[in-house]
Homo-oligomer: A and B are copies of this chain.
Amino acid sequence: MESSGKLIETGEEVLLYLNERKSWLVRVEAGKKFHSHKGIVDLDGVVGRTYGSEVRTTLGATLKVLPADYLDHLERIARRTQVIYPKDMAYITLMANVRSGSRVVECGTGSGALTSYLASHVRPGGKVFTYEVREEFQENARKNIERLGLEDSVEFRLKDITEGIDERDVDAVVLDMATPWLVVGIAYRALRTGGRIVSFSPTINQVERTVEEMRKTGFVGVKTVELIMRTYKVKVNETRPDMVMVGHTGYIVSGRRC
């Protein structure tokens, strides 16, 4: 049976797709309506239809109904809060060698967006230990992680990581915090030999202090990179990079415990 044949049920989250620039993540609830600048959709009318079908708004716009997947949720979380961009998440995950079964320490939890990406990749058997000092951030992140069904792969720590990491012999430490250099020595002791540290920072000054501390502590293979993402308008006879772009998100420093 094709998933295309599956009928949409109450309670499911769907993507209402308008065009390449605009779509919405919506939970299909009985008796609810979805409002947008393109008009209203009665969500009762979505139940029982197949994915891929189209609905019309009260203003006459046509929306396609797609099944919402992890990436849709990630983009939704990313839009709400100031988080690491997907391009950086993907590269951090690679450089931390995060894989099935990996035990990863993360700080800070923030919105849980990066936590969720790491958690997706340690399954099954692995675990993300995520540190955060601000209780309200942890609570929000916990909700995001549960919504994504990833709670079995995450342990939340309400603790200032500069006071220590509880875990030992972990495979990776991933830092997205204002003062990563304060955690470099602590991370070294928590990592197994050959384990990897990856730190994300927006300013070059943070990078300098972190790299210096990593070299002093004995990390090897220390590298600093920046990923610049250019988006393109592609259309025959009009193809070019977009005129306005995100010029900078942050630098990614990585190294390895010896």
Residues of A within 8 A of B (CB): 2-4, 15, 17, 20, 23, 50-52, 64, 66-67, 69-71, 86-87, 89-91, 93-95, 97, 99-100, 117, 120-121, 123-124, 168-169, 192-194, 196, 202-205, 207-208, 211-212, 220-232, 234-251, 253, 256-258
Per the bound structure, the CA–CA distance linking A76 and B93 in Å amounts to: 19
7 interchain pairs (CB within 8 A)?
A: A2-B192, A4-B169, A20-B221, A20-B222, A225-B232, A227-B228, A245-B245
Checking B94, B194, B237 against A205 with a beta-carbon cut-off of 8 angstroms, the contacting residue is B237
A229/B229 in contact, CB under 8 A: no
B236/A194 in contact, CB under 8 A: no
Apart from A124-B124, A204-B240, 14 more pairs, CB < 8 Å = A20-B222, A50-B193, A67-B194, A86-B94, A90-B94, A205-B236, A207-B234, A208-B234, A223-B231, A225-B229, A225-B230, A228-B229, A234-B253, A244-B244
Kindly report how many copies of this chain are found in the complex they form together.
4
Per the bound structure, the CA–CA distance linking A131 and B204 in Å amounts to: 32
A205/B239 in contact, CB under 8 A: yes
A contact patch SS = mixed
Per the bound structure, the CA–CA distance linking A193 and B169 in Å amounts to: 42
> Given A221-B20, A225-B232, A238-B203: A124 and B100 within 8 A (CB)?
yes
Most chain B CB within a 10 A radius of its CB, from A100, A193, A220, A249:
A193
